[in-house]
Amino acid sequence: MKLTKRGHYSVKALLDLSLQAPDNLASVKAIAQRQNLPAPYLEKLLIELRRAELVVSVRGAQGGYRLARPAAEISLGEILAAVGETASPLHSYAPDISQAEDWVTFSIWKRLHERMKEAVYSISLEDLYYDARSWQASQGENASFVV
């Protein structure tokens, strides 16, 4: 599965929000600085994530973004779909009987496609957070937590 810039930045932004207290709001500028992302591009992605009801936004000087639901209830598949990315890890290998060598090849690719799509939707933002924390711990005390 290839994660595009849109998908990658969106996941990083939501992981950043998952580090905040549930009631705290994070500004686009703060998220962009912490995660080394371009703020204008990030703002566009956060608007799309808000439309998909994955984040909540508050306007004003003290405004910003927070997760709309707990991280355990937001899937990688939802994040990718919200920003127009395919949630299908085998998108470029999508089953097409006209391209398959035979029905067995078609059937195998179709089943792999379905299982991997299920897997993308079963990975939660919380799972990704713990994976990142585990990686950080394996790098030693000097590793910073930039997702």
131: confidence class by pLDDT, cuts 50, 70, 90 = confident
More confident residue, 136 or 145: 136
* 6-19 tens-digit pLDDT: 999 999 999 999 98
Could you tell me the CA-to-CA distances from 38 to 34, 90, 105, 119 in Å, in that order? 11, 29, 42, 30
Judge: domain 5-86+124-139, CATH 1.10.10.10. Answer: yes
Query: Which pLDDT belongs to residue 88?
Result: 57
- Bridge-based pairing state of the strands 55-58 and 64-67: antiparallel
C-alpha Rg value of the chain to the nearest Å: 18
Do the beta carbons of residue 137 and residue 145 sit within 8 Å?
no
* 51-109 tens-digit pLDDT: 999 999 999 888 899 999 999 999 999 999 999 987 555 545 555 556 656 778 778 87
As a whole number, the mean pLDDT across the chain is 85
141: confidence class by pLDDT, cuts 50, 70, 90 = low
Query: CB count, 10 Å around CB of 128?
Result: 21
Residue 68: is it exposed, middle or buried by C-beta count within 10 angstroms (0-12/13-18/19+)?
A: middle
- Return the residue matching tokens 């990688």: 76
| Amino acid at site 48 | E
